[in-house]
Structure 1
Amino acid sequence: MSRETLQLRLLKTNLAFFALLLLGTTWQLWTPQTRFPQIPLFEWVSALPAGIDWLTLTIMLTTAGCLLLFSVVPLCLRKPAPEPGVNWQRICGLLFLVAYVVSVVFDQHRLQPWTYQFALGLLLLTSLTPARAIRLLRLFVISIYVYSALSKCDASFVQTLGRQLAEGLFSSIGISTAFWSPKTLGWIAATFPMGELLVAAGLFFRRTRKPALVAAIGMHVCLMLAIGPWGLNHYQGVLIWNVYFIIQDLLLFMRNPTLDRPRAVKDDAQLEAERLAPARVPGIERVPLLLVWLAILAPLFEPTGYFDHWPAWGLYASRHDRVVLMIDEEARAELPASLQPFVDPPQPLSTWCRVRVERWSLAELGAPLYPQARFQLGVAIGVGRMLESQSPAAEVTPRIRILFEGAADRWTGKRKVSEYTGLKEIDALSDRFWLNTLPRPVAQAD
């Protein structure tokens, strides 16, 4: 078996296994649930039967499971090239992507970065020749590091999430930051995106790949410490995704003598693999190539507002615009019991309580809140409709308010904040967005 074939099978095994694991961990997100508002990508989708969610989830689980078997069985049997069931693997990779796209159309919350990465990765690894798939996957992973680092290069990250990550990291190893100044924590936070950029640059060049790989693994370990049970205690899906990244980086960037030798030199195993490999149809390869290159280049449009933050790998970034949901203190008892624990007490001399929607999402779905403002607006409208159905008087006495916080200034971290009170005012904000902000009616999700 050639080293490229072995590398490809290990990559597919890793990707399919973690896809199944994370789909299982967040299964509530992929079903027609009523625990949390579902915001379709287009308004007309709400008229479609919610049972399609079960179909897309079944397809994703089945295709990922089949690809895992297609990779594990030959590895256990040490079966040489060519790959078994090449055409079936192509079909599985394509079906996983199509099912994922359909599921996102039914709920934007499902545009989780790990699923987006897995859908493209499975298509790439099943549709291209091993050498081309591995090279392009390397470039794709490096682009994730680059965009993730650039999204954190602003004052907002240094002042907020960056400091929290620094505090979580040091507390996980028993070092208290209680008496550290904000300036000290800010300088530490500023090193995070710089380190990520250096890792990306190091992985790109072959001569610096080995130390960059060590740094990348260290970076993921530090992040796991910061957000793990001993640090900020975030949800387990992030920890699982970081474990996936460590294994993926080892498989992609660890020195491979066979792959690093000049292209003109080929051993007998490679020549035999090429002789036995099935004929490739150029059209089949062009489609995944185009999709992956679009995924690599499209994040460049994120600063313009025409591309979402998570598909642009704005991971743990805090600069994006957002919606803060607040309800009247008297309306708290009318909320679902599952939401009430995530409502803060009102500030002094105020009757408005902040709703921690991000914590509600983690508790109910096991997934973080989608950071796009239009989605968060849709969640606010969904909560407002819950209150309206419980108390028609809410139309006269508003019980819901939002603070629409614009994107933070890159240098100062300041935001422009607008306030809207009452469901009627909040509903009118939907006209600002091209894509849908209205939640799927609960009755159709039963």
Structure 2
Amino acid sequence: MNLLKSFASENQRIAVLVKIICFFWLITKLWSYKTWIADRVYPVVAPFEILQEVPPSLHLIFFGLSLVILFLIIVFKLNRSLLIVLFILEIVSCSLDSVRWHPWEFMYLCFTLTVILNFSKPKTVFLLLHLFLVATFFYSGLHKLNRNFLDYFWRDHILTAFFGLSNEVILKYKLFFVGLLIPVTEIFLAFLLFFGKSKKKTSYILIALHVGILILLGPFGLNYNSIVWIWNLAMIAILFLLYQKDDITFDKTIISSQLPWMILWFIMPIYSFFGRYYQYFSFNLYSAKGTQLYICTKKSNKDLTTFDDKSFTSFCNGKVGIALQNWAMAELKSASSPELEIQQKAGQILLKKYGCENISVFLYNVDKQSMTKLSCSADH
């Protein structure tokens, strides 16, 4: 039996897409539950000082309510009111802690809002989700066109850690710049998805790409960033369901009525290349760009020593060394934000909590390859 017969109508296809996305959204939130609560060691980094004082119970309530709403959307008939409640809950929850703003959260929120605003216009929803995917692959590739991606992700993670190749082999066979094929392929597929006649065929190539990412990052590969495994499964499902009928067409009338989305997805990301727009809203995925935060702490800080990264012991002169990124992966099951402002604020919160005499915090600018020690201000 053809799978598409079970959701032949456009409205049924939208309902299935929403339920599939909410299913993976639910799994993501459960897997990374500490990202969504405040009862943890990793610092809560609110965008505004007043929100920093929100009690942990409220974080937990918003998290619990989101789980309930997601479950109801999955189980029952598609309901616009439930989607509105979910959208509001997620926006409020993300507003309480910057670490919650991840690429998949941005994607799910955008899709939810497109359905809310175009509940009786399935063709508009299909086209907007299609354009979101085009922007995702295009800017994801564009962000990877940098030396840091080749150094840290291509050479260190793929060639060395995954394939086990030595530097001698990499140099001998000139494999270093072969890594540029990854971003070039992403950009090419984005253009093919946008201009190509058969989006269905292109979707199969993109599905294969995500299967490859799962093999690379999954438990039988690098076993890294487990939250992304779920997102890649979601992307595979979305690509399959969205393009199976191969009936998405570029409609100027629809586009002209949806200019805010076009600005958000295609114009605003340009500013991220100049440090003037949020990286995770710009489809910056595994580009190895941004700022990293490192912590040196006394062994007496027992809650921090759990996240000891032995590779930083020498840098910390024998003290416990911690990379915030690895700490986030271990405790939250999600990455830390690459934004300089958020990294600085996280460092200041840690200095205030543990005392400048007990820990030192350093910011590393990956692009400039420079290390800066955060100073202890008087209020710390």
Does the TM-score normalized on the shorter chain lie above 0.5? yes
Question: Counterpart amino acid of 2:293?
Answer: V
Aligned to 2:154: 162
Deviates more, 1:152-161 or 1:43-52: 43-52
Distance 1:318 1:348, change over 3 A: closer
Alignment pair present for 1:153 and 2:152? no
Distance 1:225 1:378, change over 3 A: same
How far apart, in 2, do the equivalents of 1:310 and 1:348 lie? 30
Aligned to 1:324: 293
Paired residue secondary structure (1:367):
coil
Distance 1:150 1:420, change over 3 A: same
Check conservation: 1:325, 1:403, Cα contact below 8 A.
yes
How far apart, in 1, do the equivalents of 2:326 and 2:141 lie? 25
Check conservation: 1:67, 1:92, Cα contact below 8 A.
yes
Per-residue deviation, 1:158: 1.2
Check conservation: 1:169, 1:226, Cα contact below 8 A.
no
Pairing partner for 1:180 from 165, 169, 175: 169
Paired residue secondary structure (1:355):
strand
Check conservation: 1:335, 1:386, Cα contact below 8 A.
no
How far apart, in 2, do the equivalents of 1:117 and 1:349 lie? 38
Distance 1:201 1:262, change over 3 A: closer
Alignment pair present for 1:120 and 2:116? no
Alignment pair present for 1:419 and 2:379? no
Per-residue deviation, 1:47: 3.1
Per-residue deviation, 1:150: 0.8
How far apart, in 2, do the equivalents of 1:424 and 1:103 lie? 30
Of all paired residues, the percent bearing the same amino acid is 19
How far apart, in 1, do the equivalents of 2:142 and 2:133 lie? 15
How far apart, in 1, do the equivalents of 2:316 and 2:127 lie? 60
Aligned to 2:68: 62
Question: Counterpart amino acid of 1:9?
Answer: A
Give the TM-score normalised by structure 2: 0.86
Per-residue deviation, 1:350: 4.1
Check conservation: 1:213, 1:250, Cα contact below 8 A.
yes
How far apart, in 2, do the equivalents of 1:99 and 1:424 lie? 35
Give the unaligned 5+ runs of structure 1.
72-83, 264-284, 389-393, 409-414, 428-446
Paired residue secondary structure (1:212):
helix
How far apart, in 2, do the equivalents of 1:223 and 1:112 lie? 18
How far apart, in 2, do the equivalents of 1:349 and 1:34 lie? 24
- Deviating 4+ runs (over 6 angstroms): 260-263
Check conservation: 1:344, 1:353, Cα contact below 8 A.
no
Per-residue deviation, 1:32: 2.2
Check conservation: 1:203, 1:213, Cα contact below 8 A.
yes
Give the unaligned 5+ runs of structure 2.
1-6
How far apart, in 2, do the equivalents of 1:160 and 1:254 lie? 36
How far apart, in 1, do the equivalents of 2:126 and 2:316 lie? 60
Check conservation: 1:150, 1:193, Cα contact below 8 A.
yes
How far apart, in 1, do the equivalents of 2:361 and 2:22 lie? 43
How far apart, in 1, do the equivalents of 2:197 and 2:91 lie? 38
Check conservation: 2:126, 2:248, Cα contact below 8 A.
no
Aligned to 2:308: 341
Question: Counterpart amino acid of 1:368?
Answer: A
Give the TM-score normalised by structure 1: 0.74
Aligned to 1:137: 129
Paired residue secondary structure (1:204):
helix
Deviates more, 1:109-118 or 1:301-310: 301-310
CA RMSD between the two structures: 3.0
Question: Counterpart amino acid of 1:122?
Answer: T
Per-residue deviation, 1:167: 2.6
Question: Counterpart amino acid of 2:342?
Answer: F
Aligned to 2:3: none
Per-residue deviation, 1:180: 2.3
Aligned to 1:20: 26
* 1:17-72 deviations in Å (ceiling 9; x for gaps): 1111111111111112232100001111123333221232133223222221245x
